[in-house]
Amino acid sequence: MHRALRRSILALPFLLLPFVGCETLEVYLELPTFGVGTVQGVWLWRLSEATDSYERACRIEFGAPELVKGKEAIGYLQGCDEEHPGLQLSAELERDPSNPEAVSLGLWYMRWEESGMYKVSAYGDDGESALSETAVTL
């Protein structure tokens, strides 16, 4: 028992190595048309200090909704750059009772660059939305 625990504790630093230099943040999104099946994912856009405009920083691709332990959830893949391969994560969906097409969800975002201002856009078969009006500091 103690030997297995000791090995588990020793393995933990090796599991964390890919995340050194990374800050993990939760980003809350509201997607008003998610339920119609047209939203395939979102782009996070970071405000560039060099150009003073928003530039694509990270693509987050959604899987199909499914029930996990009795709650609706989606898997998602965060692919931000070639240096840091995509991470497969999961988020619980919260549907608006008055409008089941609209969902809220919290996504984990692994930020490798310095803190900055971000906006979001949704994409799908019918194109890409405009950038969100709201900007957040991540």
- Tokens 């090995």 — which residue? 7
Residue-wise pLDDT tens digits, 89-113: 999 999 999 998 999 999 998 887 8
Residue 9 resides in a domain: no
Residue 16 resides in a domain: no
- Supply the pLDDT for residue 85: 67
Cα separation, 47 vs 119, whole angstroms: 8
Residue-wise pLDDT tens digits, 44-79: 999 999 999 999 999 999 999 999 999 999 999 998
Domain count, the chain: 1
- Supply the pLDDT for residue 21: 60
The residue range of the domain holding 132 is 21-137
Residue 81 resides in a domain: yes
Cα separation, 114 vs 32, whole angstroms: 30
Asked whether 66 and 137 are in contact (CB, 8 A), the reply is no
CATH, residue 29: 2.60.40
Statement: residue 1 has pLDDT above 80 = no
3-state secondary structure of 109: strand
Q: Best-predicted range by mean pLDDT among 5-9, 15-19, 110-114?
A: 110-114
Residue 70 resides in a domain: yes
Residue 53 resides in a domain: yes
Cα separation, 107 vs 76, whole angstroms: 9
Cα separation, 74 vs 93, whole angstroms: 7
Asked whether 95 and 127 are in contact (CB, 8 A), the reply is no
Cα separation, 60 vs 31, whole angstroms: 14
pTM score, whole prediction: 0.79
